[in-house]
Chains A and B, each alone.
Chain A
Amino acid sequence: MGRQTEVLKFIFWRLLQAIPVIFVVITATFFLVRSAPGGPFDSEKAVLPEVKRALEAQYKLDLPLHEQYIAYLGDLSNGDLGPSFKYPGRSVNEILGSGLPVTAELGLYALSFALLIGVLAGVFAALRPNTRQDYIPMGMAMIGICMPSFLLGPLLVLIFGIYLDWLPIAGWGDLPGDKILPSITLGSAYAAYIARLSRAGMLEILSQDYIRTARAKGLPEWRMVIQHALRGGLIPVIAFLGPAFAGLLAGSFVVETIFQIPGLGRFYVQAAFNRDYTMILGTTVFLSTLIVFFNLISDVIAAWLNPRLRAQFKGGA
């Protein structure tokens, strides 16, 4: 069987497996969320019993649990995530729709920053292994990995926002330059990982015969890197991008909280604190689908690149 057919078959099977995974996630989250004590209308303000009942009827909370579940699945199949408990009059779809572009933009900038800095540092280090040119960027990468975003973010704000007063300390798209600090905060851990991955990948490629040939030919170092080495050396980086996407979503919880950015992550954390059932459910379903999708992509890429891994996927097992 050709390699192409095999990989297509693998993608097909993995897609087929993703459906029950997402279904189980929806079901588990639904019942977990509903089993938690405390309803969305148990606030400190006293609400009249009639009002509370009317509200519960409106949100179908008066129905037995299994009927609520079936109703929810029905709405979901129409792409309707339901109304928000916390923000009356707004649907979860609307809130997600307003948060998604912000988070996507933040993620895109963070990932671009990570790729640019990470690949540059990794290649730079790999060209002169075990010298100062290697130790300095790799030491910085280690700092990037060990410095959590909830520490890096406040520190960057302290230095560039408060002491130097160069950049705004919060917001998203309100003031010029306010997108820089959040993007760096979110991206630097990934920059560090990518630097290490591309260093390792490049080191392996640079020891190969065809690179020696290219060098012996007298090709300038930078052309040798761009024309010959990068293609092979960056394979591990590509395979890392799938899990990185999923991680970026989790990272956006912290970064959006620190910088007060109205994105998915912040809504999610707030929904959890507010017990906004439909919001938690909707966000979970949405994020889970994204994560399953990105894991799928990264598995497919890994299978494509690694013939030994591919063997075990034969027959869709």
Chain B
Amino acid sequence: MNSEQMALLMEAEDGASLWHDAWLRLKKNRAAVTGGVVLAIMVVLAILTPWIAPYGYEAQNLDLGATSPSAAHWLGTDIFGRDLLTQILYGGRISLAVGFIATAVALVIGVTWGAVAGYVGGRIDSVMMRFVDILYALPFMIFIILLMVVFGRNILLLFLAIGAVEWLTMARIMRTQVQSLRQQEFVEAAVSLGLPPSAIIFKHIIPNALGPIIVYTTLTIPSVMLLEAFLSFLGLGIQPPQTSWGLLISYGAETMEEYPWLLIFPGLALTITLFSLNFLGDGLRDALDVRGSKD
């Protein structure tokens, strides 16, 4: 018992210094730090939107119409005379919420699924991963369209639908991680001590696979936001009166010849956020020394 406690202590200490080193490495990466700061600003703005937005969300001014950026409307107005900055702030709330919530859904399903498949192995693993293959092959467009048509266009459903699509890669990454961890001595030791599989998976394997999980979570958020924007652009995602950056870009593209700012500013907001997330993700990958997966 004593020796086991010793081993646990040593492992804990090792873990702490690993995270500490990673933190030091991350701090030195200027692009990653900038990405993190910009992202933090975006999140704070999104949370504070109802209090800091210069105009009301519903406020229209049909007489004004579309105007280019000015002192009263920093980013201009759209064809209904609505303030674009306000639209972008509210759209950002939705886009970021989709990014974080759908990623959380994907994370929970994918990590659990991949860990079980990789740990149990054999026929169960084969069946579980074929299931993943089937979902991969099912074009998500139809899946999401059908959900939207059958249950009505619902933002909660959109979170779930995107999460249900995005967990697949997470499951594959987790499975590969678990397969390599399973063969290591400390897991064999835990097995020979008679620990139940659930305890081994959650206490020993998942914590050790945390690095790749964090990195891919950071990289999944931008791809989820992109997916939402993609769907909204095609008219299958967020519906008015709610708005998102994808929807604003879609509207902007329709009138870009006359009012290019309606395309450019929402596009900038989306691109800057995706940029920050990707830089942060890359920085984390280097800091935690996670090797790239298949792609």
Residues of A within 8 A of B (CB): 17, 20-22, 24-25, 28-29, 32-33, 35-38, 142-143, 145-148, 150-151, 153-155, 157-158, 162, 193, 197, 200, 236, 239-240, 243, 250, 253-254, 257-258, 268-269, 272, 280, 284, 287-288, 291-292, 295, 298, 302, 312, 317
CA distance A28 to B102 in the complex (A): 23
CA distance A121 to B230 in the complex (A): 27
Q: How far is the CB of B192 from chain A (nearest CB, A)?
A: 23
- The answer to whether B122 and A254 have CB atoms under 8 Å apart is no
Contact of A38 among B133, B149, B230, B271 (CB under 8 A): B149
Name the A residues within 8 Å of B270 (CB-CB): 148, 151
- The answer to whether A253 and B141 have CB atoms under 8 Å apart is yes
- Could you give 12 example pairs across A and B, Cβ below 8 Å? A21-B137, A32-B142, A146-B222, A146-B275, A147-B271, A150-B229, A151-B267, A158-B257, A158-B263, A243-B295, A268-B139, A295-B137
- Which single residue of chain B is at the shortest CB-CB distance from A146? B274
- The answer to whether A312 and B179 have CB atoms under 8 Å apart is yes
CB within 8 Å for A240 and B295 given contacts A21-B137, A29-B138? yes
Contact with A along B117-144 (1 / 0, CB 8 A): 0000111011000100110111101110
Name the A residues within 8 Å of B292 (CB-CB): 200, 236
Is B279 engaged at the interface, CB distance under 8 Å to the other chain?
Answer: yes
CB within 8 Å for A150 and B249 given contacts A21-B134, A302-B294? yes
CA distance A158 to B226 in the complex (A): 21
Considering residues B139, B149, B234, B274, which has the most beta carbons from chain A within 10 angstroms of its beta carbon? B139
CA distance A275 to B233 in the complex (A): 19
Name the B residues within 8 Å of A280 (CB-CB): 142
Name the A residues within 8 Å of B279 (CB-CB): 142
CA distance A138 to B21 in the complex (A): 26
The 4 A-B pairs with the shortest beta carbon distances in the complex, nearest first, are: A146-B274, A154-B253, A150-B233, A151-B267
CA distance A62 to B182 in the complex (A): 55
Is B146 engaged at the interface, CB distance under 8 Å to the other chain?
Answer: yes
Is B108 engaged at the interface, CB distance under 8 Å to the other chain?
Answer: no
- The answer to whether B141 and A272 have CB atoms under 8 Å apart is yes
Name the A residues within 8 Å of B137 (CB-CB): 21-22, 25, 288, 291-292, 295
Q: How far is the CB of B271 from chain A (nearest CB, A)?
A: 5
CA distance A280 to B155 in the complex (A): 24
CA distance A288 to B143 in the complex (A): 13
- The answer to whether B130 and A150 have CB atoms under 8 Å apart is no
- The answer to whether A155 and B142 have CB atoms under 8 Å apart is no
Chain B: residues with Cβ within 8 Å of the partner, total of 47
Name the B residues within 8 Å of A29 (CB-CB): 138, 142
Is B197 engaged at the interface, CB distance under 8 Å to the other chain?
Answer: no
Contact of B253 among A25, A33, A150 (CB under 8 A): A150
Chain B, 231-257, CB within 8 A of any chain A CB: 233-234, 236, 246, 249-250, 252-253, 256-257
Contact of B233 among A20, A37, A254 (CB under 8 A): A254
Name the B residues within 8 Å of A154 (CB-CB): 249, 252-253, 256, 263
- The answer to whether A284 and B139 have CB atoms under 8 Å apart is yes
- The answer to whether B126 and A317 have CB atoms under 8 Å apart is yes
- Which single residue of chain A is at the shortest CB-CB distance from B272? A146
Name the B residues within 8 Å of A32 (CB-CB): 142-143, 146
Name the B residues within 8 Å of A272 (CB-CB): 141-142, 145, 236
Is B278 engaged at the interface, CB distance under 8 Å to the other chain?
Answer: yes
Name the B residues within 8 Å of A142 (CB-CB): 275, 278-279
Q: How far is the CB of B258 from chain A (nearest CB, A)?
A: 10
Q: How far is the CB of B34 from chain A (nearest CB, A)?
A: 12
Q: How far is the CB of A282 from chain B (nearest CB, A)?
A: 12
Is B260 engaged at the interface, CB distance under 8 Å to the other chain?
Answer: yes
Is B189 engaged at the interface, CB distance under 8 Å to the other chain?
Answer: no
- Which single residue of chain B is at the shortest CB-CB distance from A193? B295
CA distance A239 to B295 in the complex (A): 7
- Which single residue of chain B is at the shortest CB-CB distance from A189? B226
- The answer to whether A21 and B133 have CB atoms under 8 Å apart is yes
- Which single residue of chain A is at the shortest CB-CB distance from B279? A142
CA distance A290 to B130 in the complex (A): 17
- Which single residue of chain A is at the shortest CB-CB distance from B145? A272
CB within 8 Å for A317 and B125 given contacts A150-B249, A154-B263, A253-B234? yes
Contact with A along B146-173 (1 / 0, CB 8 A): 1001100000000000000000000000
Chain B, 25-54, CB within 8 A of any chain A CB: none
Q: How far is the CB of B194 from chain A (nearest CB, A)?
A: 26
Q: How far is the CB of B215 from chain A (nearest CB, A)?
A: 15
- Which single residue of chain B is at the shortest CB-CB distance from A200? B292
- The answer to whether B253 and A291 have CB atoms under 8 Å apart is no
With A154-B252, A155-B264, A158-B260 given, can you name 7 additional A-B contacts, CB distance below 8 Å? A25-B137, A37-B149, A146-B275, A150-B233, A158-B257, A284-B142, A295-B133
- The answer to whether B146 and A268 have CB atoms under 8 Å apart is no
Name the A residues within 8 Å of B294 (CB-CB): 239-240, 243, 298, 302
- Which single residue of chain A is at the shortest CB-CB distance from B223? A145
CA distance A29 to B135 in the complex (A): 11
CB within 8 Å for A33 and B146 given contacts A146-B278, A243-B295? yes
Contact with A along B263-295 (1 / 0, CB 8 A): 110010011001100110000000000001011
Q: How far is the CB of B119 from chain A (nearest CB, A)?
A: 14
CA distance A162 to B229 in the complex (A): 24
CA distance A70 to B126 in the complex (A): 29
- The answer to whether B234 and A288 have CB atoms under 8 Å apart is no
Q: How far is the CB of A91 from chain B (nearest CB, A)?
A: 20
- The answer to whether B134 and A25 have CB atoms under 8 Å apart is yes
